[in-house]
Amino acid sequence: MLQDTPQEWQVVASATPFTGKKTGVRTDEVVMPDGGTATRDYQVHPGSVAILALDETGRVLVIKQYRHPVRHKLWEIPAGLLDVPGENPLHAAQRELFEEAHVKAGDWRVLSDFYSSPGGSDEAVRVFLARDITAAEGERFETSDEESDMETARVPLDELVRAVLAGELHNISLVVAVLALSAALAGGGLETLRPADAPWPARPFGE
C-alpha cells in the first residue's frame, strides 16, 4: 500500500535557539542510518486548518492577503493556526471561516491533509471542504494587521484550476485544495470524502 509511515530517528541533543509569538526554531542532532549524526534546524509549528468554501453555484470563496516573507498579495482560501493545544480542527476551521469571510457552512468534510514544508517545518495542515454556505449572523469580526486589507471574491473552480496550472496562484493551501476538489469531483464524488471528524494523527485532537 502506498502510504506514509511514522518513524522517529534518535535525537541525541536538542535546543530551541528562537521562540516567536506563534512558532519557534528547533535544532536537533539526529542519528543517521550509517551511525553518524547530522544537525537539523526546523520550524516548530502548532499546525493549521484551511477551508475551501464552495457555494451553491460551484464557486470557491477566496481571499487576497499580503504575505510579507514573499512580498506578495496572494489569493488564498480562509485559513488559520491551531492556537489552542488539542483543539478540534473542525472548530478551528469554523471559527476561521467566520472571522475571515463572515460565512458559516452546513456541511463539512475533510478534503486533504498535508505537511506544508516537511524538510524545514513540522507544520501539519488539514483542509476542509465546506458546503451549504450562508452569511453568518451578527456583526463581522474586527480584523487587524494584514487581515484589515483583505479582499474577497467567489471564483469558479475551473478558473482556479487553470490559474494554478498556469503558475498564477501560489498559496499552498489553495493549490492543494482546488486540485484535490477537482480530483474528487472527477473521481468518486464528494460523498466519498472523509467525515469532518476523521482522525488526524499529525495533530491529535479531542471533542
What residues are annotated to the active site?
Answer: 147
Instruction: Tell me the CA distances in angstroms from 24 to 12, 18, 41, 57, 205, one per residue in order.
Output: 20, 5, 10, 41, 21
